[in-house]
A and B are shown apart, each in its own frame.
Chain A
Amino acid sequence: MSGPGRRSPLWRGALAVWGKDVRAEWRSRYSVGSSIVFAAATLAVLTLAVGFQARRPELAAPLLWTVLLFSATASLGHGFAREVEGGTWDLLRQAAGPGEVLLGKWLAAATLLAAIEAVILALGAVLIGPPVADPAGFLAVLGLGSLALAAGLPLVGALLAQARRHGGLVAAMAFPLLVPGLLAAVMGTRKALAGSWPGDELRMLAAFTGLLVVAGWRLFEFIWDE
């Protein structure tokens, strides 16, 4: 991977990969479109099942993260698989190093996730409308939890891109790997919705996301290496 001395080329390459992914998504709107339909359907079914109970913090928090996880898995977990299926995997390998590719994919995942989250939160506010007693805590948990999803899902997607029948495996493999972050995010969101500052949960989320990013950064070259 590019060392600190090659910071500029690393960022240039990463931004090029990010731009390519975002443009491809903008043209097809495949990931964001499917995620939004999935999120809307899940929210509608769950709110229909539990009614106004869904406004309670202990239900709203897991509901939000369940929808986020599966919407994100449907879109962010398949980026590398689409490179393989589209025959662009080898081209990407020739054009950029592992550092550039991973950073670019992470940035693209974060961008797509932010777009998906904006729609999910808007839908959630309309369909459920839970009162957010501590907005700062809620946003902090949402931000760190989203970083964990944006860091972990492309890594699992890259691992599975080289496996056969990878499509159905992404959720099965990503969920257990991301579960410490998700549980902390659910507990933190519940606290923030109820009005207390989720300090412990934020510390755990920060530690988990940091470790995931560092481990992913160090290990990606072995996934990329053929």
Chain B
Amino acid sequence: MKWWQAGLFLWMAGTIGAGFLYAPLAKKLEEHTRIIYFHIPAAWVSVVAFGVAGLYGARYLWRRRPLDDLRSAAAARLGLVFCLLATVTGMLFAKAMWGEYWNWDPRQVSIFFLILVYGAYLTLRAAVDDPERRARLAAVYALLAFVTVPFLMFVLPRLSDFTLHPDPIVNRGGKLEMHPRMFGTFLSATGAFTLLFFWMWWLDVRAESAARAAAERERAAREHPQAEEVGLERAARA
């Protein structure tokens, strides 16, 4: 284990501990306050991930390097995972606070549509066979999809007159109304989740690169079996 991986483990463990032992409870939310330290960072990371997917989509269109496509796709996949986590934790909170898992609250609707947007991105990737074309079209879609993210995450929920959802961290009046210890724990959780995302993303990109390289070697071996045998003999001699 590398030093920063051990550091992330301690950071995450410390944040979970702080959520239960250090941060005070919010009025009205009581014990349900703890979910703030997991639900909001998961939603935040999904926005970061979709931003990374768009950024690497743009880089692919600019430089046409397959690795950028791979990075964009991995970020979109993980963004979808964190988006689902935010949805599930939000549903648990909704059940505990409002008595139902799903209330069609504007924020629930927004995140539901965000899942559809990136689900459609993965569908597009599955529908195009040619790798170059798939990468190009997926990059365009990732950029178009990112146009919807600020509207779905930040604008639409604030446009609706009716919501049961608690005020966001920075409320409609632009004020931060959170106890300093809660805010510290929240920032720590957000940082830990963000770092966790980048680690998972890096692993996903490495795994996908290795899988692609293996598939490429297999294809080359099928097309040129002699070359493979020569390669094996050389490897045996070495």
Using a CB–CB distance below 8 Å, which chain A residues touch chain B?
A: 155, 159-160, 162-166, 169, 172-173, 175-177, 179-180, 183-184, 187, 200-201, 204, 207-208, 211-212, 215-216, 219, 222-223, 225-226
Contacts and interface: CB of A to CB of B under 8 A. Distances in A.
Contacts of A200: 159
Given A159-B141, A169-B123, A222-B61, 7 more contacts: A162-B133, A173-B124, A176-B120, A179-B117, A187-B160, A204-B155, A226-B133
Contacts of B131: none
A200 B156 CA distance: 10
B144 A215 contact: yes
Given A176-B116, A179-B117, A222 B155 contact: no
Contacts of B192: none
B156 to A, nearest CB: 6
Interface in B96-155: 109, 113, 116-117, 119-120, 123-124, 127-129, 133, 136-137, 139-141, 143-145, 147-148, 151-152, 155
Given A169-B127, A219-B143, A184 B133 contact: no
Contacts of B128: 162-164
Contacts of B120: 172-173, 176-177
Given A176-B120, A180-B151, A204-B155, A160 B113 contact: no
B99 to A, nearest CB: 23
Given A162-B137, A183-B156, A176 B151 contact: no
Nearest to A169: B127
B116 A159 contact: no
